[in-house]
Amino acid sequence: MTTVASFASLDDLRRAFRALGGDGPPVTARQVSVPDRRTRTGSARWVTAAGEWAVLVCGCGGSPGATTMALSLATAADRARVVETCGGLASGLVYAATSELGTVERQWLRGTRDAVVLERRAELVSSPDDVPAPAALDAPLTIVDSSWDIGCLLESAGWLGDLARTALTVVLVSRATIPGLRRLEATASLIDLSRLVAVTVGARRWPRPVEQAAGPMVRRLRDEGRIVLVPHEPGLALAGLTPDPLPPSILRPAQTVLTLLEGLPS
Averaged pLDDT, 16-36: 36
- What pTM was estimated for this model as a whole? 0.83
Strand partners, 200: 174, 229
Buried b / exposed e over 143-172, threshold 16 CB at 10 Å, is bbbbbbbbebbeebbbbbbbbbeebebbbb
Q: Where are the domains of the chain?
A: 10-34, 53-262
Amino acid letter, 44 = A
Q: 241: which residues sit within 8 A by CB, 6+ positions away?
A: 67, 68, 71, 92, 93, 95, 96
Q: Cα(12)–Cα(17) distance, rounded to whole angstroms?
A: 9
The SS3 of residue 231 is: coil
Candidates 153, 152, 156, 127; CA nearest to 36 is: 156
Strand partners, 143: 55, 82
Q: What pLDDT score was predicted for residue 129?
A: 92
Radius of gyration of the chain (CA): 21
CATH class entry, domain 53-262: alpha beta
Q: What pLDDT score was predicted for residue 43?
A: 66
The SS3 of residue 5 is: coil
Averaged pLDDT, 229-247: 95
The pLDDT confidence band at residue 63, using thresholds 50, 70 and 90, is: confident
Amino acid letter, 186 = A
Averaged pLDDT, 28-49: 52
Of 49-53, 139-143, 174-178, 225-229, the least confident:
49-53
Q: What pLDDT score was predicted for residue 40?
A: 46
- The answer to whether the CB of 163 falls within 8 A of the CB of 46 is yes
